[in-house]
Every structure is written in C-alpha cells, then in structure tokens.
Amino acid sequence: MSTSRRLRGLLGRDWAIAIWFVLPMALIMVGLIFWPFVSAILMSMTTLNFQTGETVQVGLRNFQRLFTNSDYLLAMQNTITFTLWSLSIKFVTGMTIAMILNSKLPTRDLLAAIMLLPWIVPEIVTALAWKSIYDPLFGGLNPILQGLGVIKQPLGWLSDPQMAMGSVIAVNVWKGIPFFTLLLLAGLKAIDNEQLEAAEVDGASAVQRFRYVTLPGLKYVIIVVLLLSFISTFNQFGLIFLMTGGGPGGATKLYSILAYEKAIGSLQYGPGSAIALSVAPLMAILIYFLAKTMRRDERVAALDSKPTIGSRIARVLQAGLGKVLDVLFWPFDMLFRGLGHAATAIGRRFPTPPGRKYIARQRQERVHITLRLLALLPILVFVLFPFFWVIITSFKTTPQISARTSIFWPEPFTLDQYVSLIRDSQFLVWLRNSVLVAAVSTVISVIFAALAAYALTRLKFVGAGLLTTFILITYLLPGTLIFIPLYQTLSDLGLINSYGSLIVTYPTFLMPFATWVLIGYFRSIPVELEEAAMIDGASRIYAFWKITLPLAAPALLSVTLFAFTNAWNEFLFAFVFITSESLRTLPIGLQSMVVGDILPWGKLMAASLLTAVPVAVLYMYTQRFLVGGLTVGGVKG
C-alpha cells in the first residue's frame, strides 16, 4: 500500500485538500482563542510582587480569595441581578412584540423594521444617547416625568445608587429587544396555524392556545434565545462601563468591569484573570446545553430511545416548569374566559341580524387591530425616543442646551455642532480608522470562514466534527474571558497600540459566527452540482470558486454585513488594545470626548448620529439579508 493511501486511510479521503481550507481558521483559533484561554488559566495562578516586580506562582489562591473579597461578591451580585432582570423583561417584551407582529396588522413590515433599530446602533451611541436622556440637568426624561406629574423634582438616574441599576437595565432591555423579537418572530412563523385553529375549534381560549400550542412550538427557539442572551448579558462590559463606569459606589460594577480594573487598571493580571475565569464553569455548562440544542437533529432524537441522566433531568425540569406555567397562566385564562362569556351573553341579548354579520366581523377585526396597535404604542415610543433625542440635540446650539430652552425641539436648527466636531476633534481620523479596521477584519474573516465552512460540509477528513464543535464553542465564548491574556500576547508580539492588534483579534469573534452560518447554507446547496463539474474535469477549488460561492451569495452578503457591523461597533478590544489618539476607532474616540464631568452633549450627539449612519444605511438597503443571516446563525446551524 502506498504512503498516500495510508494517509488517506488515517486522515480521511480529502485530507490533502482540506488542510488548505481549514488551516487559516485553525491557526487563528489556536493562536488567538485556545492559547490565550490556556494562558488565562496559567496567569490566574500568579500574582505580581510589587516590591520585587516579579511574578509569583500562587496556585489556586487567587480563586480562594475571591469568595472572601467584598468587591468580587458585590460585583457578582450586581451581575446576577442585572442579568436576571434584563433577561426576564427582554423575554416578555420580545414575546409580546413578536406575537403582535405575527398577527394581522397594517404596515407590519415597517413596524418590524422600527423594532429592530436598536440592534444596529453602536454600543457607544446607545450609551451616550441614554446617558444624555438620563442627565438630571440637560436630559429629556426628567422634564417628561415632571410634566406628567410622576415626579416633583429632577432625579439622578445614574448618580443615585438606588436607581442606577434599574436605569442601566432599562438600556440593556432597549438594546436587546430586537434580538428576542427577531428570533421569536421567526419561531412563531414556523408554527402550523392548523394546530391553533384546531385548538380554537375544540374550545381552547386564547391563553390556552398560547400555553399549550404556541409555547411548546417555540420550546427550542426559546431555549436558544434565552441561553444566547444570558451569555451575552452576563458578560456585558461596554454599555455599563460607558454609562456609569461601575458606579456610583460600585452599584453597577459587574464582574467584567472588576476584572478589567484589576488586570489592566491595576496591572494585577493574575487576580484579574481569576475574576474573569471564575465564571468559566457556568459559561461551559451554558455553552454545552446551547451547543447541544443548536446542533439538535430531530431525526436522531426520535430514534434515540435510550434515556440518559441528562434527558431525565430535562424531563423533570420540563414537568416542573409546566406546573409553574399552569399556575402563572391560570388567572389570565380565567380573565379571558370571563370576558368571552360576557361577550357571548351580550351577543345573545343583542343579536346581530344575519345580513350584518359580515360587517360585525369586520368591525370586530378593526377593534382587534386597534388594540394591538395601542399595545405596541408604548414600546414604539420607548424604542424611538432615543433616536429622536440624539437628532434634535445634535441640531441645537450649546447655549440652547445649557439654558434648557425648547427642550424637545431645536430653536433654531443649526449645524454648529457638526462643524465644531469636524474642525475641533479627530473625528475624521477615527472614522478612517474604523473603516480600515472593520473592512480588513471583515474581509479576512469572511474569506477564512467560507473556506472552513466549505471543507466542513463537503470534505471528508479526520477532526471535522471536533473542529465544528470548537467553532460553535468559540462563537459562544464571551470576549471577557480572553481579553486579558490577549493583551499579554499582543504585548509580547509588539502589536499593542497598532492597527494589527484589532485586525488580528477581531476575526476571533467574527469568524466563528460567519462559519456557523455558512455551514448551514452550504449544506442546502446540492452537492450533485459540484460532482457533475468534477466529473467533467473541474478541480475541487474550481467547483468551490465557480459553483458553490456564487450560489451562496445571499449568505456571504449576510455574514459580511453582520461581521462589518460587529467590527464597526466593537468597544472592549479597541478600548484595551489602543491608547494612541491617532489610532482610535469611532467608539473609543467618542468615549475620549468625555473628560471627567464635562460632557459636550451637542457635539457628542452629532458624533453619535454620524457614527450610526453607515450601519443604518447598510441595514436599510440589505435588511432582509442581515436578518436572515442572524436567524440562520441563531436558530439553525
């Protein structure tokens, strides 16, 4: 047997060509994700001796100290509070919006597009907009509440320790509503309407149809959405850091902010890494269950009759949750049944003439539509007000903002803030840096992701399944777990404070998502097309380049837009790795405009609007591709 045949037997039929497809992805993942994670573990077992300047091995002592450290315990308490409240409100609000948008509603597409707007806004813009709205002197929230008689005097929403956490939770909810709405709406559209109609014919109320048909049909979508959002919310950094810095008095300091302060602020890399890694076991459990759910194959699940410990635990939890839901839904069911009986009694007392039944049904449908729009109205105001506030503030003069005259409308409209922004700041330099970094990192990520995704769906080689699992894990791995060792790695390579530090690290969170989406899309393309071309003499590379890629154009556009948007909005890595003003990207540049307690609101709002415009334009013209890509990546795979 020849050497090539032995290798093919050991490494797989297509190993020789597959290695060139997956090597770029593998090198980045090993060098910038796996190794930094290992380095973080090793680093967490050290501490810096400030007297000698030497790094000392301390074993697990850094982790042991956390359980008696008041700062850490408070940060974890804040993180849990922030996550659970944010998650609960986002789920209820997102489900409400999705249910309304899934019903008969005029201008439904427009309303859906409006509801998704907060998702495309850069994190820095979200933080500055809401910080301006919350401002006790110049903000818009206090005047509104005072005018409605809700409060008697201005409140310090972000400066009062009792109110700061609730205020930042509200902002996180505003930012997270689109994600829940998008995926839950996709799940609702997949539910068979015949099941709902059959339940209605059998006499089930609206609450019972939702409880026993809609919720079970959304089970796996809900699990994916909640787990993804939990991981993202629990590891939140930029939004809270930009709004409060963890204050006042540590009231909003999350574990991620504490880890940053220890590692980067105080140069205690060991204790800082220990703080970041202290949540790794929880993240590992969540990622395991999420990966298992996202890779779930219905046919395999149906054939698998052997009950496992995990499946038994899941059944017990599911049964317990079912009982809890029955109790929670019982009052609503009784209310809806009572309303139904009342409506029936009124109908019998005042019967509708046969000739007017159609008109009565139309009138009833109009009433239902009106009620849905009225239910959606407060949420629409909540979603749109920050955009309105940013726009009007950017067109005000500085004296008008300071004097608090005509709070909700510029008098007169002026471009002074935009002129001052361009003339007196480095805004155009930050814009150039953002375009450069986002464009280059997006191109690298999409190219490498396309190569790897093709190999994992078309080629046979050893380790394909392991690599697919690793890609999904890195897709879910929060950046807060690796930014400290990445900083050390980049320092050793001499890349800190350079374009290279961002261009090299951005693919670590852009490539896994792009690969996961493209894997799902490539699987939908018939393999027979490539096989026919190769029978005619085409090479594997030619089949990939000329046949598969053109057919995958919608998915490629989707992941390109998503990657560019994420690179454009990224804050944590740019904040930690870049210190020079000439290299700052837009999020870091805007953050640097805030000096202590001096906040040039007009200029900040003008900069925020200009920062949001590029991604808003991309979103407007390519919305269906971007939304489709997120749905595929979040639900399928």
Q: How many CA atoms lie within 13 A of 324 on its CB side?
A: 6
Region 535-555: what's the mean pLDDT? 84
Q: What was the pLDDT predicted at 79?
A: 96
Q: What is the pLDDT of residue 304?
A: 46
Highest-pLDDT range among 216-230, 251-265, 298-312:
251-265
Residue whose tokens read 């047997």: 1
Instruction: Tell me the pLDDT tens digit for each residue of 286-336.
Output: 877 776 766 554 444 444 445 555 556 556 656 665 666 566 656 655 665
Tell me the torsion sign for CA atoms 458, 461, 465, 466.
negative
CB contact set of 14 (below 8 Å; sequence gap of 6+): 455, 459, 460, 461, 540
106-115, 161-170, 289-298: the lowest-pLDDT one: 289-298
Q: Report residue 255's pLDDT band, with 50, 70 and 90 as the boundaries.
A: very high
Stretch 229-242: mean pLDDT: 90
CA distance 289 to 224: 9
Read off the pLDDT of each residue in 28-44 and give the average, rounded to a whole number.
Answer: 86
Q: What's the DSSP call for residue 14?
A: T
Task: Return the structure tokens found at 301.
Answer: 């699940």
pLDDT tens column, 399-446 = 888 887 788 888 888 999 999 999 989 999 999 999 999 999 999 999
CB 555 within 8 A of CB 632: yes
Please give the mean pLDDT across all residues of the chain: 82
Longest alpha-carbon distance in the chain = 95
- DSSP, collapsed to helix, strand or coil, labels residue 595 as strand
What is the Cα–Cα distance from 574 to 567, expressed in whole angstroms?
A: 10
Q: Which pLDDT does position 449 carry in this prediction?
A: 92
Q: Which of 75-79, 257-261, 424-428, 613-617 has the lowest mean pLDDT?
A: 613-617
What b/e readout covers 276-313, taking b as 16+ CB neighbours within 10 angstroms?
A: bbbbbeebeebbeebbebbeeeeeeeeeeeeeeeeeee
Q: What is the pLDDT of residue 2?
A: 64
Distance, in Å, from the CA atom of 625 to the CA atom of 124, rounded to the nearest integer, reads 25
What is the residue type of 211?
R
pLDDT tens for residues 63-104?
Answer: 999 989 999 999 999 999 999 999 999 998 998 898 888 887
Tokens of 478: 């929060």
pLDDT at 320: 64
How many CA within 13 A on the CB side of residue 194? 0
Q: How far is CA 488 from the centre of its chain?
A: 27
Query: What's residue 305's pLDDT?
Result: 46
Give residue 542's pLDDT.
Answer: 84
Could you tell me if 126 and 171 are in contact, meaning their C-beta atoms sit under 8 angstroms apart?
A: yes
Residue 49: φ, ψ to 5°: -85, 105
Q: How confident is residue 209, by pLDDT bands cut at 50, 70 and 90?
A: confident
Q: What is the pLDDT of residue 632?
A: 46
DSSP of 43-110 = HTTEEEETTTTEEEE-TTHHHHHHTT-HHHHHHHHHHHHHHHHHHHHHHHHHHHHHHHHTSS-TTHHH
What's the mean pLDDT in 121-128? Answer: 89
Cβ contact 140:146 at 8 Å: no
491 or 292: which carries more pLDDT confidence? 491
Question: Using CA atoms, how far apart are residues 510 and 556, in angstroms rounded to an integer?
Answer: 13
CB 104 within 8 A of CB 369: yes
Q: How far is CA 616 from CA 65, 196, 571, 587, in A?
A: 46, 37, 18, 16
Q: Using the Cα atoms of residue 23, residue 545, residue 514 and residue 284 in order, give the sign of their dihedral.
A: negative
Task: Over range 218-240, report the average pLDDT.
Answer: 87
Lowest mean pLDDT among 71-80, 123-132, 515-524: 515-524
3-class SS at 598? strand
Q: In this structure, what token pair is assigned to residue 389? A: 């506030």
pLDDT score, position 137: 85
- Which range, of 249-253, 303-307, 339-343, 519-523, averages the lowest pLDDT? 303-307
Kindly state the percentage of the chain with pLDDT values over 70.
83
For the chain, the straight-line distance linking the first and the last C-alpha, in angstroms and rounded, comes to 39
- Please tell me the least confidently modeled range out of 71-75, 227-231, 497-501: 227-231
Burial zone of 252 (CB within 10 Å; 0-12 exposed, 13-18 middle, 19+ buried): buried
Residue 300 has a pLDDT of 43
The whole-number pLDDT of residue 625 equals: 57
Q: Averaged over 28-49, what is the pLDDT?
A: 85
| pLDDT of residue 599 exceeding 50 | yes
Instruction: Give residue 303's pLDDT.
Output: 42
- Taking a C-beta distance cutoff of 8 angstroms, is the pair 46, 56 a contact? yes
Q: Whole-model pTM? A: 0.84
For residues 501, 505, 507 and 512, what is the CA-based torsion angle, rounded to 10 degrees?
Answer: 180
> For residue 501, how many other CB atoms are within 10 A of its CB?
25
What is the C-alpha radius of gyration for the chain, rounded to an integer number of angstroms? 27
* 304 vs 452, more confident: 452
State the Cα–Cα distance between residues 311 and 390, nearest whole angstrom.
50
